[in-house]
Amino acid sequence: MGLYLKKRLENEAEIGVWKITETEAELKELSSTPSDEMEEISFIRSESLRKQRLAVRALLNTMFDEKVYLSHHDNGKPYIENNPISISITHTENFVAVILHEDEDVGIDIESLDRDFSAVEKKALSEDEIEDLEDEKRNEQLAIYWCAKEAIFKLLSVYNLDFAEQIEIERFRPKGEGELEAVFINKDEEEEEFELEYITFERHVLVWVVG
C-alpha cells in the first residue's frame, strides 16, 4: 500500500501516513535506511517492530526531497540531524504517521480502535472527563482522549507528566474527524491552551497538535 495520506494543514504543518502492507524486504528497498540505523533495526527481535521502523523511513523518503538522518534525544524525542524541522512520529502494527513543522513544536499519536482502552479511564482521565464518557462509543472516546494526551506529551517533552491532573481535554463527541480543545497545567499552576485535530480511518484514530 505504501503512502496512505499526505497533506499540508492550514497551520503549515505536514502530515504523512503509511499503511504497512509490504514485506520486510520490500520496506528495506523503499526506506533507504542508513547502514548504522539498519544495523540497529536488525537487532530488534519483533518483525512487526522492525517493519514499523522501516516504514517510518520509507515515509520520510516521501516527505523530504533530500536524504534525512533520523535520530533521538535522550528523552526519546525524534529529530532530523541534517534539518532543523520539528518532527513527531507514531506507529501501530498497521500504520505509521509523521507530522512536520518548520517553526512550531508538534505531537502526533495513532492507536488501533481494536485495542481495549478501558485502563485509560483510571490511568489518564480526570473526574470531569470520566463523567463525559458515553457508553455507546466509550472505547473510541477513550482512544481519542489517550491519543490527544499522548500528542500533547510528545510536543511538550515534559518528564513525569500526570495525564489526569495536568492535561484536560474539553468535552467532545466522537466523529469521523474533528477538533479538540485542551489545557495543559504545569507544576506552577500556569495554563497553556492547545487545539488538536483528529481523524478516524480503518479502525484507527490519529490525533495531532501543533504548538
Last residue of a domain, one of 49, 75, 103: 103
| Residues 126 and 145 grouped into a single domain | yes
pTM value? 0.95
The answer to whether the beta carbons of residues 88 and 73 sit under 8 Å apart is no
Last residue of a domain, one of 55, 87, 103: 103
Would you state the pLDDT for residue 34? 82
- Tally the domains of the chain: 2
| Residues 196 and 132 grouped into a single domain | yes
Say whether pLDDT at 1 is over 70: no
- HSE (side-chain half, CA atoms, 13 Å) at 52: 17
Would you state the pLDDT for residue 67? 86
Element (H, E) at 123: helix 118-124
| Residues 144 and 204 grouped into a single domain | yes
| Residues 55 and 84 grouped into a single domain | yes
- The tens digit of pLDDT for each residue in 95-140 reads 999 999 999 999 999 999 999 999 999 999 999 999 999 988 999 9
| Residues 25 and 56 grouped into a single domain | yes
> For residue 184, what pLDDT band results from cuts at 50, 70 and 90?
very high
Residue 65: exposed, middle, or buried by beta-carbon count in 10 A (0-12, 13-18, 19+)? exposed
The answer to whether the beta carbons of residues 203 and 143 sit under 8 Å apart is no
Mean pLDDT computed over 44-71? 93
Q: Which domain holds residue 160?
A: 110-210
Would you state the pLDDT for residue 31? 87
Last residue of a domain, one of 54, 69, 103: 103
Say whether pLDDT at 207 is over 70: yes
C-beta neighbour count of 41 within 10 angstroms = 19
The DSSP annotation for 29-78 comes to: HHH---HHHHHHHHT-S-HHHHHHHHHHHHHHHHH-SS---EEE-TTS-E
